[in-house]
Structure 1
Amino acid sequence: MTHPVHSSPNPSPSAGKLLSGGLLGLLLVIFLASFLYASFLFFRTARAILLASPQAETHPLLLRADHEEEAQQALAEAPQGPQNQLSQLLPGTSRDATPEIPLDSFWETQEPVNILLLGIDQRPNEKGYFRTDTMILLHINPKTGDVGMISFPRDLWVEVPGYWETRINSAHVIGDAKGYPGGGPALAKKTVENLIGQPVHYYVRINFEGFRKLLEEIGCIEIDVPKLIDDPTFPDDNYGYDPLYIEPGHYCMDAELALKYARTRHVDSDFGRMERQQQVILAIKDKVLSTGELPRLIVRAPALLNILSDAIQTDMPLSKMIALANMARNMKLDNIRRLIIDVDMVEPAITDTGAWVLMPKMDRIQAAIHDFFAADYVEEPGQGEAIPPTATSPATTPSPGTASPQQAVRIIVLNGTTTSGLEKEVSDVLLSYGYNIVGIGQADRNDYATTQIIESGGDERIVRDLADLLGVSDQDIRPGSPDQLQADIVIILGANFVMPE
């Protein structure tokens, strides 16, 4: 087995406490695909034990059922000895008891369900608005058992319904900042619906630490690296560089290396990064469903959910989660369909303000989306012509010239003072002026004497307007690289800052 090389981190100027979370959506797929199967087994065992208890008829977790034999089988499959923590917690259970309430499928309809998986770059204890660095649509068809996922590039230029045209990863920020009903996740759902012409029923959102915690729990994952990974500017947690070098070969990657492998995008492009993300997703799925791993995770499920509860948010009701877990046994997890909105479906473009974006080729995207959902239209014998699921009208190709100059420039606001919450107040002001705030946070230190603007060589008019608005002198405007800044402009608030009226 080949071994990757981690060079010693090289220091670089600090731009703030924001770190790209390219893998943030991966854990979501685990919970809603492979881990759902483990959840099903865990839930079935737990419910079977409850069914055998004196409290069975009144317990709120017990629903209707139709197969008494399945409950008996679940009891027979329950972990033995000290691993059966449920039997220890529920006195009065008996493996010889006959459940009087059978099991149910819990799913009221056989209609497909689409779940938007959102990975945000929020770090521990950070507050504010956060962009999505990972957007994956998970598609589940209860009737056929088909499971699929669609990845969207971060720089895809789309219409955010009710607002303006911008990059797709800004929809979440706009929704939170503008008080959209349901916040950023709801507006992200609406934006994806508008793009693909299909309903998005639920979202699941996770922050950076959630993925790391899960991988640390399940251990290393098997990954085949098809080509050399050589990224000398891979960022570290302290805004320096942690060069990444991985030779082609087979690896059992730990949490740190798997995270880096899927996050790096300067080796090829965001399209290559999305491919690696899906590769890691499937590797995690294989690990979770492996013979030795699944029983351990079933026993660990309550602790895992407790550990990860602060990292995950969703609008999916508990009843739906249980329903998905219950039907996961029928999912085709060995043949998950994959679609990436890739280079053939977009056209690189420069906006009027000099921002680089990906313009969608809607005819190709619509054709790919139609093929992806084609399994939902399969005609059943004796049922006549199949009716496609309810869809919204897909978007038309937007024009990069229609966005306001402020919206085309990505801005990060960092607090370099001891005034708590100043970065959020300034972010709100800039949003009210129409600027595109993609992140806020703390600077590398809190003793900046003056407010500074670090720009990556984009629209000079925007830089000048910001300097005039925020009272930044010419000597406090300096250049920086886009890769280092993770935005077009970074504003560091200093002690001399005065709030615009």
Structure 2
Amino acid sequence: MDLSLSSSEKREDQIQEITYRRKLWWEIPLGIVLGLVIVTGGFLFYKTFAATKKVITENVGGSAPAFLDKVEPRELRGEGDGRINILLLGVGGEGHSGSFLTDTIMVMSIDPKTKKVAMLSIPRDFYLYVPKEGYNRINTMYYAGEKNKVNGGGLAMSKKVVSDLLDINIHYATMIDFTGFKDIVDTLGGVTINVDKNLVDTTYPTPSGGYQTLRVKKGVQNMNGEAALKYSRSRHSTSDFDRAARQQKVIMAIKEKAFKMETILNPTKVAGLIDALGNHLKTDIQLWEIQRLVEISRDIDTSKIVSKVINGEEGLVTTTSINGMSVVVPKTGDYSEIRKFAHELFVDSFLTDENATVEVLNGSSNKNAVKKVSSLLKSYNYNIKNTANAETLNYTRTIIYDNTKGKKPYTLEFLKKRLVKLGMNPEIKKDSSYDSEIVIVIGSDYKGK
């Protein structure tokens, strides 16, 4: 393998950026590690978790409803709750300055019915409200949970912050550090990657705060833990989309190596994997849930995993300065477009399977009500067939007319909870004279502009 690192002299105008660049050294490609544990069928790692219970902490939020054999509509807290949503966090770990800043933040979402997987990365400099800390970069959330000793610690705090941002329930969280990933790959004896194009990164960070040039040649390459980490996390000469594709390659390479019989039957390698995870990973996924994930993952086609990034290329965010700090903020000034993007990615099959036709009518004096509500519901995958004014604009309370005789229970439950989130107090009635399966008449209890 041709993976050479040549030191480059620091430029004087980069000295002030050293602290920022050091953070990049800790950026962990967690899609690789969690893809290994969850997506690829993880027999070895089920054994690892079973033998290393110290990595598993209590899940204060409870299990994902989708793990149940039969999910009742009332058990789902909203659109997307019919999936299994896992927050993946990367930190520098002990021995690094800012060791618990979550500089890699990714949501992996699994639909257990369709066996489809989607991943969404969140920029670490995203600026928002962090409980107990105030407004700050999102990468402070894990540290805030640990420092303030909240119930569930940094994992629970991180789940809350990301859940509020995306408007999707986050069921689980897993945190791994830089050393853990490298140890896993090295214990497996390295991985084989088919590099599809030359990679040159002239600003790859060094541990001391300097810069090096990373070169990876096109072709089949054998990589140890450090090389695989560098290949999968380099981004300054490419894009986040390129990096996501490289992470997919590494996931598959680890899977192929881990499931060879010489690995599974090698007690030394199994022991090494246990050590690597036990010392460098925390999760609130319980053992029985890991077993269910293993069962689900057997039918997942890893070549069809969808990976997206919240970035400027998607038209979602922009970079600015607040109090002298470079941060990422939503272009629209609120989270509406980001939430729409997330819900379009994490489609809830409980909702799409019913595919109920929905009509939205304005029964209030708010002229923008129908446009605002119907647009939001469309982005959350509701099948909106018609919008108009109701026969009167004197509705004081929002009404949901159910013409399905209860045959679309998930849609009705999701709609009721969604409208409550919008500040309405909807009442469900069983029949109406309208043609659509479900009709929403917006009343004056909707206060949106």
TM-score range with shorter-chain normalisation? 0.5 to 0.7
- Asked if 1:224 corresponds to 2:212, the answer is no
Give the counterpart letter for 1:337 in structure 2: V
On the 8 A contact 2:29/2:229 being kept in 1, the answer is no
Cα drift, residue 109 of structure 1: 4.9
| 1:462 match | none
Counterpart check, 1:200 vs 2:170: yes
Structure 2 equivalent of residue 29 of structure 1:
35
Instruction: Pick from 124, 134, 142 the counterpart of residue 164 of structure 1.
Output: 134
Moved more, 177-186 or 156-165: 156-165
Equivalent-residue separation in structure 2 for 1:241 and 1:357 (angstroms): 23
In structure 2, the residue matched to 1:321 is 290
* Cα pair distance change 1:17/1:330, threshold 3 Å: closer
1:282 corresponds in structure 2 to 248
* Residue identity opposite 1:372 in structure 2: L
SS in 1 for 2:119: strand
5+ long unaligned stretches in structure 1: 47-104, 397-501
1:181 deviation in Å? 2.0
User: Aligned to 1:185, what secondary structure does the other structure show?
Assistant: helix
CA 181–295 in structure 1, closer or farther in 2 if over 3 Å, else same: same
> What is the 5 A alignment of 1:144-163?
144-161=114-131, 163=133
1:372 aligns with 2:345: yes
For 2:147, the aligned partner's letter is A
Alignment of 1:91-110 (within 5 A): 107-109=68-70
CA distance, structure 1, for counterparts of residue 419 and residue 244 of structure 2: 28
The answer (yes or no) to whether the contact 1:19–1:121 under 8 Å persists in 2 is: no
Q: Deviations over 1:76-108 (max 9, x none)?
A: xxxxxxxxxxxxxxxxxxxxxxxxxxxxx9855
Over 3 Å counting, the alpha-carbon distance change for 1:276 and 1:38 in structure 2 is farther
Q: Equivalents in 2 of 1:132, 1:393: separation in Å?
A: 33
Q: How far, CA to CA, are the matches of 2:419 and 2:289 in structure 1?
A: 26
Q: Deviation of residue 282 (structure 1)?
A: 1.4
Shift of 1:7: 0.9
User: What do the CA deviations read for 1:353-384 (whole angstroms, capped 9, x no partner)?
Assistant: 22221112434322221211225232159994
Q: 1:330 to 1:262 in 2, by over 3 A?
A: closer
1:54 maps to which residue?
Answer: none
CA distance in 2, matches of 1:375, 1:159: 27
Query: Counterparts in 2 of 1:270-349, with a 5 A limit?
Result: 272=239, 274-290=240-256, 293-300=259-266, 302-303=270-271, 304-343=273-312, 344-349=314-319
Over residues 283-312 of structure 1, what are the superposed CA-to-partner deviations in whole Å (9 max), with x where a residue is unaligned?
A: 133224438944334335742223321111
SS of the residue aligned with 1:243? Answer: strand
Q: CA deviation at 1:19?
A: 6.3
The answer as to whether partners of 1:156 and 1:168 remain within 8 angstroms in 2 is yes
Letter in 1 for 2:28: L
Percent identity between matched residues is 26
**TM-score, with normalisation over the residues of structure 2?**
0.62
Q: Which of 391, 396, 410 is the equivalent residue of 1:387? A: 410
CA RMSD of aligned residues (A): 3.8
Match of 1:135, SS state, is strand
Unaligned runs of 5+ in 2: 51-65, 72-81, 356-403, 423-449
Deviation per CA, 1:139-171: give whole Å up to 9, x if none: 112122112211111112222245422221121
| 1:249 positional shift | 5.8
How much does 1:11 deviate?
8.0
Number of the residue aligned with 1:3: 2
| TM-fit CA distance, 1:31 | 0.8
Contact 2:145 2:154 in 1 (8 A): yes
Separation of aligned partners in 1, 2:196 and 2:127:
30
Q: What CA deviation, in whole Å up to 9, does each residue of 1:46-67 have, x standing for no partner? A: 9xxxxxxxxxxxxxxxxxxxxx
* CA deviations over 1:169-223 (Å, ceiling 9, x no partner): 1211222222222222211110110011111111111111011112223423324
- The alpha-carbon distance between structure 1 residues 306 and 255, as it changes in their structure 2 partners (threshold 3 A), is closer
When structure 1 is superposed on structure 2, of 309-318 and 220-229 the one drifting more is: 220-229
Matched to 1:283, the amino acid is: K
Residues 120 and 134, structure 1, Cα contact 8 Å, conserved in 2: yes
Distance 1:291 1:353, change over 3 A: closer
Cα distance in structure 2, aligned partners of 1:158 and 1:183: 19
Cα offset, 1:225, TM superposition? 4.9
Change in CA separation of 1:183 and 1:234 when aligned onto 2, cut-off 3 Å: same
Structure 2 Cα separation of the partners of residues 179 and 380 of structure 1: 42
Which amino acid counterpart does residue 114 of structure 1 have in structure 2?
A: N
1:188 maps to what in 2? 158
Could you say if the C-alpha distance between residues 394 and 360 of structure 1 is closer, same or farther in structure 2, counting changes exceeding 3 Å? Answer: farther
Measured in 2, the distance between the counterparts of 1:395 and 1:216 equals 48
Amino acid of the structure 2 residue aligned with 1:166: N
- The structure richer in strand per residue is 2
1:294-353 deviation per Cα after TM superposition (whole angstroms, max 9, x unaligned): 433433574222332111111111111122112321333331122211212433343342
Contact (CA 8 Å) 1:23, 1:134: kept in 2 or not? yes
User: How big is each residue's C-alpha offset from its partner over 1:479-500, in whole Å with a ceiling of 9 and x where there is no partner?
Assistant: xxxxxxxxxxxxxxxxxxxxxx
Using structure 1 for the length normalisation, give the TM-score.
0.56
Aligned length: 328
